[in-house]
């Protein structure tokens, strides 16, 4: 377990090495590796552990009984998942968490912090609670962002919304996105064939150039 890497994550921000070790011990930290396609958490189950991605990536997705998949977010190294469910512990998951590639995950029993009283809250525990709030606020931004991108009625509108947001975040009109074509279609809640067709039209219209997951936006008024 790489303490230095763990200390760079939001959850352990501001903690000394000693505090980080205390936190890891108190939260029953355990590390586990998964192969691409493995299901880490399944909708309907409960969990008392949140996950920190140390290596690789996972997708948080909704899979209904008819086989429709909607990707809600991609969690990359340093990112977290299932923190809300772990904190509540008895709340059934409404999503699946799947290995997007071979990955290494650190699991933490975060629910134990809610049992602390003001008198027995140590320095690392106060920092942990504050950092959990930061993570929660950031997740709200991610989810609201997806809602914004899926609001347009057309495939082009959804693509434009998403690509514009990525461009603003990256500070560049040329960038890579973390999704392949199928994943992007699932994220935007559109059919893959419709998405590929629209991307071809957008290239012909001089709006963008794309190859695989690389994009270059050619106009500022799209």
pLDDT in tens, 91-118: 999 999 999 999 999 999 988 776 655 5
Residue 144's pLDDT band, with cuts at 50, 70 and 90, is confident
Class of domain 154-217: mainly alpha
Residue 143's pLDDT band, with cuts at 50, 70 and 90, is confident
Residue 131's pLDDT band, with cuts at 50, 70 and 90, is very high
Domain formed by 3-148, architecture: Sandwich (2.60)
CATH 1.10.10.10 residue ranges of the chain are: 154-217
Report the run of H or E that residue 73 belongs to, with start and end. strand 69-75
Which letter, b or e, does each residue of 31-44 get, where b requires 16 or more Cβ atoms within 10 Å of its Cβ? Answer: eeebeeeeebbeee
Percent of residues, the chain, with pLDDT higher than 90:
79
The C-alpha angle with vertex 73 and arms to 11 and 78, in degrees rounded to 5, equals 30
pLDDT at residue 73 above 60? yes
CATH 2.60.120.10 residue ranges of the chain are: 3-148
Lowest mean pLDDT among 23-32, 63-72, 130-139, 178-187: 63-72
Query: C-alpha dihedral over 163, 164, 170, 172, to 10 degrees?
Result: 100
User: Is 153:188 a contact under the CB 8 Å cutoff?
Assistant: no
Percent of residues, the chain, with pLDDT higher than 70:
95
pLDDT at residue 120 above 50? yes
pLDDT at position 116, please?
A: 58
pLDDT at residue 19 above 80? yes
Residue 222's pLDDT band, with cuts at 50, 70 and 90, is very low
pLDDT at residue 24 above 90? yes
pLDDT at residue 221 above 90? no
């Amino acid at each position: 377990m790489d303490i230095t890497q763990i200390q760079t994550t939001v959850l352990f921000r501001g903690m000394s090495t000693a505090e980080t070790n205390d936190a890891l011990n108190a939260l029953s930290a355990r590390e586990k590796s998964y192969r691409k396609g493995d299901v880490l958490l399944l909708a309907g189950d409960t969990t008392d552990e949140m996950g920190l991605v140390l290596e690789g990536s996972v997708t948080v997705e909704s899979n209904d009984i008819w086989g429709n998949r909607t990707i809600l977010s991609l969690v990359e190294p340093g990112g977290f998942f299932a923190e809300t469910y772990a904190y509540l512990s008895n709340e059934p998951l409404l999503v699946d968490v799947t290995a997007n590639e071979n990955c290494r995950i650190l699991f933490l029993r975060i629910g134990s912090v809610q049992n602390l009283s003001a008198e027995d809250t140590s320095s690392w525990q106060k920092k942990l609670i504050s950092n959990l709030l930061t993570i929660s606020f950031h997740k709200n931004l991610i989810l609201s962002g997806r809602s914004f991108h899926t609001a347009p009625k057309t495939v082009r509108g959804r693509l434009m919304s998403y690509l514009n947001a990525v461009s603003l975040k990256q500070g560049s009109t040329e960038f890579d996105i973390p999704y392949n074509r199928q994943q992007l279609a699932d994220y935007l809640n559109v059919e893959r064939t419709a998405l590929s067709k629209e991307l071809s039209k957008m290239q012909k219209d001089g709006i963008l150039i794309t190859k695989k997951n690389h994009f270059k936006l050619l106009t500022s008024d799209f």
